[in-house]
């Protein structure tokens, strides 16, 4: 759920046995008419670097290309499938931000409303004050609120082998916020930028307060059902990953440990991610969603402009700016694409599209410790 290139922190609680196996590279996926040799090479390179498997799709106009590499199951050697469902982690943030912007377009709230207007007294203590933080600052990560996933105790339960004891733990949104409030703010509201999952936990709570329905229901009602995203779901506490899907793997180590034991972490209670990163989807649905969003089918022009108004992001590779639940990527050839990364134990994903929504790419690594996901974006949008 946090922003990095290869191994990214998130939330977690997952399952299973320690496994070790050498990944293999599957033959290049069939070309459905577009030709993506560099994208396929970048997927293969991720597997060579240690990712068990990669699966994704690119869409340009009415043409769809599917690419896979490596394995979906280290135990059986079964390959990945381009239609695998996977945990999308922080891409959930784009869905949450879209719902809040729809509510703003309907006049139900204002982006400059203070958090305390909707959640009175929830953000208070250790220098944190919801009376000074706006909804906009939650969505663009300028609130200064500490990210609960960086709390030492939470990190230990989620990203070390203690995870195996806690993978089915249930968290309420208020519990996650209270973990963050043990810490002083990182800066005054609006005075800096820092990626914080707590921001989107609060955003989900605000959706429920404004709409009278849980954020999960609003995402389904406003986005999933209208777009026909049949592989997309917003689990509450259900630990299972729907079929078809590959296994998800992690080293469960806070320090790089590429040669350490590999754990199957497919099952987990997603309440630890919640509205910051709990969703499940597949590459086809993600391409449909981001294409519809950037193509103006989900938000009025004014709200889409707000969403694409970014603050600078330094030191994050191709990511140069963060809007409202939306990242701006700038590959080396000068193209600009919009989307989001998404990471949770055992899963590292990216979904991006051109500003007109016509050329989209979404893919998933089923391991969280190796590979360069941004290299796949570079390969797709800078093919020569």
**With left for phi above 0 and alpha for psi between -120 and 50, is residue 342 left, alpha or beta?**
beta
| CB-facing half-sphere around the CA of 134: CA atoms within 13 A | 12
Given a cut of 60, whether residue 200 has pLDDT beyond it is: yes
Whether the upstream peptide bond of residue 244 has omega within 30° of 0, thus cis, is yes
Contact assessment for residue 345 and residue 365, using Cβ atoms and an 8 Å cutoff: no
Q: What is the pLDDT of residues 98-145, one digit of tens each?
A: 999 999 999 999 999 999 999 999 999 999 999 999 999 999 999 999
The full length of the chain comes to: 384
State the average pLDDT over residues 50-59: 98
Q: Where are the domains of the chain?
A: 18-381
pTM: 0.92
Given a cut of 60, whether residue 12 has pLDDT beyond it is: no
The CATH number of the domain covering residues in 18-381: 3.40.710.10
Q: What is the pLDDT of residues 235-281, one digit of tens each?
A: 999 999 999 999 999 999 998 788 899 999 999 999 999 999 999 99
Determine whether 134 is an active site residue: no
Q: What is the pLDDT of residues 20-49, one digit of tens each?
A: 232 332 333 343 344 699 999 999 999 999
C-alpha Rg value of the chain to the nearest Å: 19
DSSP symbols for 186-233: SSSTTS-----HHHHHHHHHHHHHHHSS-HHHHHIIIIIHHHT-TT-B
**pLDDT the model gives residue 255:** 86
**pLDDT the model gives residue 256:** 79
**Residue tagged active-site, from 26, 69, 90, 246:** 90
């Amino acid at each position: 759920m946090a922003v990095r290139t290869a191994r990214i922190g998130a939330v977690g609680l997952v399952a299973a046995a320690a496994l070790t196996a050498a990944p293999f590279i599957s033959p290049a996926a069939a070309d459905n008419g577009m030709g993506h040799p560099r994208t396929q090479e970048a997927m293969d390179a991720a597997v060579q670097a240690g990712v068990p498997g990669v699966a994704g799709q690119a869409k340009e106009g009415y043409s769809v290309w599917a690419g896979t590499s490596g394995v979906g199951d280290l135990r059986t050697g079964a390959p990945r499938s381009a239609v695998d469902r996977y945990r999308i982690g922080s891409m959930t943030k784009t869905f949450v931000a879209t719902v809040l912007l729809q509510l703003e377009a309907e006049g139900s709230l204002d982006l400059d409303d203070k958090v305390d207007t909707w959640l009175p007294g929830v953000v208070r203590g250790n220098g944190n004050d919801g009376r000074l933080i706006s909804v906009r600052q939650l969505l663009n990560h300028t609130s200064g609120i500490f990210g609960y996933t960086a709390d030492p105790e939470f990190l230990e339960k989620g990203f070390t082998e203690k995870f195996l004891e806690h993978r089915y733990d249930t968290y309420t949104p208020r519990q996650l916020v209270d973990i963050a409030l043990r810490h002083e703010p990182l800066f005054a509201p609006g005075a800096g930028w820092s990626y914080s999952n707590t921001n989107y936990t609060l955003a989900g709570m605000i959706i429920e307060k404004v709409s009278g329905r849980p954020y999960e229901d609003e995402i389904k009602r406003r986005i999933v059902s209208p777009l026909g995203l049949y592989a997309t779901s917003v689990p509450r506490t259900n630990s299972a990953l729907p079929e078809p899907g590959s296994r998800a793997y992690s080293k469960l180590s806070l320090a790089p440990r590429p040669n350490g034991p590999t754990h199957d972490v497919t099952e987990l209670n997603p309440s630890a991610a919640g509205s910051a990163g709990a969703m499940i989807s597949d590459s086809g649905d993600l391409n449909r969603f981001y294409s519809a969003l950037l193509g103006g089918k989900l938000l009025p022009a004014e709200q889409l402009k707000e969403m694409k108004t970014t603050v600078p992001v330094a030191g994050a590779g191709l990511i140069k700016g963060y809007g409202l639940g939306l990242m701006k990527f700038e590959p080396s050839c000068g193209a600009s694409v919009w989307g989001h990364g998404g990471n949770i134990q055992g899963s590292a994903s990216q979904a991006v599209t051109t500003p007109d929504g016509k050329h989209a790419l979404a893919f998933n690594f089923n391991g969280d410790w190796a590979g360069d996901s941004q290299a796949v974006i570079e390969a797709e949008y800078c093919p020569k």
